[in-house]
Structure 1
Amino acid sequence: MWSKLLRFRFSRRQFHTIVSREIIKPSSSTPSHFKTYNLSLLDQTMLNSHTPIVAFYPNLDQTSHDKTKTLELKNSLAKTLTQYYPFAGRVKKTSPTYVDCNDEGVAFIEATNDISLSDFLQRSKHEDLDPLFPDDLIWFDPHIRGDTEGVTCPLAVQVTQFACGGVAVASTLFHKVGDGRTMLNFLNHWARVTAKKDTSLINPQILHYPTRTINLSEMIDRSRVGCVTRSFLFPNRKLNDLKAEVTAMTMESGQPVMNPTRVEVLSWLLHNRAMAAATEKNSGTFKPSGMAFPVDIRGILVEKLSATSVGNLDLSIECPTRNESELKPHILISEMRKMKAAFQCIQNWEAATEIFGQMSPETALETLKRIDDCYIYTSVCRFPMYDIDFGWGKPVKVTFGGTIKNITVLMAAPDGDGIEALVCLEKEDMKILQNDPKLLAFC
């Protein structure tokens, strides 16, 4: 019935075909006292978006049929959802305050692509990943399917079989229910259940909050319209050169920054060059902006949270760049460190949420708007991206769907040598950035 329901032709020789769609429900019912999952105040302030992640696997298991793999994935997903029960519920798309954990289930979509996985990865641009994700739930895609009367499921999954037998497992999570770390923890858990491996050390920690509403009258929605996402690879050897250069620059300033991290110096470099591109496009006129960096606070609070805690457990460092002098590394990196150190003094998660809880709606919205005007740099370098093993071996590539304007995601390079940066800019800015010798010197 669903065979050949939908086809995308997204490069000269590729057809992507949706072949089936099924709703997978948790294998056991959610207890009645967990039927309502309140979103924290920080959850409620998150972008009204979906976070798309896809992992690619070559056809290493020649004895396993595609139908067997798919059935195993469905069965293990049902088991996994019993522990991630908010993901199988329903939530309002606009200004939600809770998830109705009604066990209605998540969409599981099967698709095929008529070329080999190696050809796909070699030839495709980042936008070609879009059809791999379920129901167009790619950040702020304007053509979202699968929701009824403003209500949606937080999670959706799509499994794509390539002509060679390779597989792409893509999933997307409503950002107000969880952050990137939540999503990667879920994928690792689901993979271990599929592979029949022990999950006791990675069981999710579901935090429960009292009913509270921040009452924001409007929310910030970034767009991908007019933007492109491109990948830049920075090997460790080049990153070490960059660290040495940044250290020398800060020494010359008289305000040395000692032992800068790879993420610190790379975030500084990318922001510096993105601002240079914007200035060049703007006929040499510098446009004030800022740099924001979400910090995963699970492990840095005085009372630490489990690494498998579910939710949006991060706070944003915000560094203004109102003029070109504020782009200097001793200013930006020192400010990043100072603000992160302040987060480390927060006693517990309840105290962290009060940062927004004590604000008036007007002040909270103004804070969010200020951050929205910034270029955002987020790192998942230490997250378990390449541990997602469904029993077919580790993935050859894990990445995010095309991001949104002025957002950069830093993650481990596929071969472990360095950092891959997914950068989304307006097309004219990206054209300049891709030819910037000061950036390419470290690629």
Structure 2
Amino acid sequence: MLSKLLRFGRRQLHTIVSREIIKPSSPTPSHFKTYNLSLFDQIANNSYMPIVAFYPNLDQSSHDKTRTLELKYSLAKTLTQYYPFAGRVKKTHPTYVDCNDEGVEYIEASNDNSLSDFLQRSEHEDLDPLFPNDLIWFDPRIRGDTEGVTCPLAVQVTQFACGGVAVASSLSHKVGDGRCFFNFINHWATVTAKKDVSLVNPHIFHHQTFDYNLPDLLSDKSRVGCVTRSFFFSNEKLNDLKAKVTAMTTEAGQPIMNPTRVEALSWLLHNRATAAATKNNSGTFMASGMQFPVDMRGILAEKLPGTSMGNLYLVIEFATTNDRDLEPHISIGEMRKRKAEFQSIRNLEAATEIVGQVSPETALKTAERVEDYYIYSSLCGFPVYDIDFGWGKPVKVSVGGTIKNFTILMEAPDGNGIEAAMCLEKEDMKILQNDPELLAFC
């Protein structure tokens, strides 16, 4: 209880110092003023992805004002390449970005904690003040005001009492996915560090005008009544888990050989999360489903550039309607089967055609097959800990507290394991945090 009171007290010392608009350093060419959203952009949920990177005060000689000026200057240069991020987009059902160079909001803040104390004491909810304008997944302003336009990107830089820094950004999911977002942040960092950006310049597709009105199936999800907690799994424990999966699937007569860390961990997390939900439902199993976003850039037969901008992911999706569906040979087998189907898709045009054939009615019918979906999004393999603004690599990178039944898997800073940030209903989380079958691998 005392630690919670300390955290609550310290959170009151987070102060907004200044706000300004950063515009691209060069105007966007007239023939690029309209950036049409692709089919995959339009069906992405209407939310903001929040990412924050933490840096200790390694360079004592670095002056705060100098660092701030460098960040703003490099952001302006980066926005010339990522020009849709500095435009304006309709708050609901957008089909294009008006690349008018109006700029992004840049907020400076201070926090009276030392960085080490903040990281040691904080839970995911304590990260909220670090993000600009409460843009954490679902924008509260969108809910209250569906008219008008909004900026796809906002940035907040927080200075800690020790000189440590948190660089937080929130990007509209309508203009990019997780890979695109990390590409942008790494590009910004590379410009700040005055390094060669030729290898990280974005590849921008220019889409035809398209209007696909698919319902936002995540719009009813929120963090109300939910908590996000992190669980760490070392590579040693993950190897034990992989061995368990292989043994269980071999015994079932359908061996899964060489399961990946993400496959094995996603299975374990889903198995234990549904067990917690069942226990809270008086022992009655609730039909649910699993969803896995898969990056298209490296999976299609014709590979896409790794720096391709936009939403370029497909979703593996299947129902888990009974206990048997939770067995690893079933769930991991389904994951591999669906992934193989994606690998047979020739190119982006073919993927667009396939997804475009799904009607809104079919999407709603699929979503209604189960009580709820659990989403497992892996950022493993993304350039998460490469974000170097010239101050060295971050000591910690976090994603803001997620939405109900959403889990994000992220590589440990030293590569020795995976951190799972998991959001569940509070009562389910209480059970999960004391689940011996989960804790055996933590």
Whether contact under 8 Å (1:140, 1:224) holds in the other structure is no
Whether contact under 8 Å (2:375, 2:405) holds in the other structure is yes
Taking structure 1 as reference, are residues 359 and 393 closer, same or farther at Cα in structure 2, changes over 3 Å only?
same
Counterpart pick for 2:10 among 8, 13, 19 = 13
Give the paired residue count.
435
> TM-score, normalised on structure 2?
0.95
Whether contact under 8 Å (1:24, 1:106) holds in the other structure is yes
Q: Which runs of 5+ in 2 are unaligned?
A: 1-5
Greater CA drift, 294-303 or 268-277: 294-303
Taking structure 1 as reference, are residues 326 and 372 closer, same or farther at Cα in structure 2, changes over 3 Å only?
closer
Taking structure 1 as reference, are residues 141 and 32 closer, same or farther at Cα in structure 2, changes over 3 Å only?
closer
1:212 to partner: Cα distance: 1.0
Aligned equivalent of 2:52: 54
Whether contact under 8 Å (1:136, 1:143) holds in the other structure is no
Q: What amino acid does structure 2 have at the position aligned with 1:200?
A: S
Report 1:352-367 matches (<5 A).
352-367=351-366
Taking structure 1 as reference, are residues 430 and 116 closer, same or farther at Cα in structure 2, changes over 3 Å only?
same
Q: Which runs of 5+ in 1 are unaligned?
A: 1-8
> TM-score, normalised on structure 1?
0.95
Aligned equivalent of 1:202: 200
> Which string of whole-angstrom CA distances, capped at 9 and with x for unpartnered residues, describes residues 363-396 of structure 1?
2444466699310001001000000000000000
1:359 to partner: Cα distance: 2.6
Q: What amino acid does structure 1 have at the position aligned with 2:379?
A: V
Aligned equivalent of 1:423: 422
Taking structure 1 as reference, are residues 128 and 37 closer, same or farther at Cα in structure 2, changes over 3 Å only?
same
Distance 2:124 2:142 in 1: 20
Report 1:255-294 matches (<5 A).
255-294=254-293
The 3-state SS of whatever aligns with 2:158 is: strand
Distance 1:112 1:280 in 2: 43
Q: What amino acid does structure 2 have at the position aligned with 1:26?
A: P
> Which string of whole-angstrom CA distances, capped at 9 and with x for unpartnered residues, describes residues 102-147 of structure 1?
0000000000000100000001111000000001000125356999
Distance 2:194 2:133 in 1: 29
The 3-state SS of whatever aligns with 2:423 is: strand
Whether contact under 8 Å (1:89, 1:105) holds in the other structure is yes
Taking structure 1 as reference, are residues 433 and 202 closer, same or farther at Cα in structure 2, changes over 3 Å only?
same
Greater CA drift, 352-361 or 21-30: 352-361
> Which string of whole-angstrom CA distances, capped at 9 and with x for unpartnered residues, describes residues 267-314 of structure 1?
000000000000000010000011110100101111110111111111
Whether contact under 8 Å (1:90, 1:99) holds in the other structure is yes
Distance 2:350 2:44 in 1: 18
Aligned equivalent of 1:4: none
Aligned equivalent of 2:237: 238
Identity across the alignment (%) = 77
Aligned equivalent of 2:387: 388
Taking structure 1 as reference, are residues 120 and 147 closer, same or farther at Cα in structure 2, changes over 3 Å only?
farther
1:227 to partner: Cα distance: 0.5
Aligned equivalent of 2:169: 171
Distance 1:149 1:389 in 2: 38
Taking structure 1 as reference, are residues 333 and 187 closer, same or farther at Cα in structure 2, changes over 3 Å only?
same
Taking structure 1 as reference, are residues 372 and 399 closer, same or farther at Cα in structure 2, changes over 3 Å only?
farther
Q: What amino acid does structure 1 have at the position aligned with 2:73?
A: N
1:74 and 2:72 are equivalent in the alignment: yes
Aligned equivalent of 1:373: 372
1:417 to partner: Cα distance: 1.1
1:217 to partner: Cα distance: 5.7
Report 1:19-38 matches (<5 A).
19-38=17-36
Aligned equivalent of 1:106: 104
Q: What amino acid does structure 1 have at the position aligned with 2:256?
A: V
Taking structure 1 as reference, are residues 366 and 41 closer, same or farther at Cα in structure 2, changes over 3 Å only?
farther
Distance 1:90 1:219 in 2: 24
Q: CA RMSD in A?
A: 1.8
Greater CA drift, 143-152 or 254-263: 143-152
The 3-state SS of whatever aligns with 2:294 is: strand
1:421 to partner: Cα distance: 0.2
Distance 2:113 2:59 in 1: 18
Greater CA drift, 66-75 or 207-216: 207-216
Taking structure 1 as reference, are residues 27 and 12 closer, same or farther at Cα in structure 2, changes over 3 Å only?
same
Aligned equivalent of 2:3: none
Q: What amino acid does structure 1 have at the position aligned with 2:404?
A: K
Whether contact under 8 Å (1:246, 1:329) holds in the other structure is yes
Whether contact under 8 Å (2:91, 2:142) holds in the other structure is no
Report 1:179-198 matches (<5 A).
179-198=177-196
1:413 to partner: Cα distance: 1.1
Q: What amino acid does structure 2 have at the position aligned with 1:260?
A: P
Whether contact under 8 Å (2:7, 2:121) holds in the other structure is no
Greater CA drift, 210-219 or 300-309: 210-219
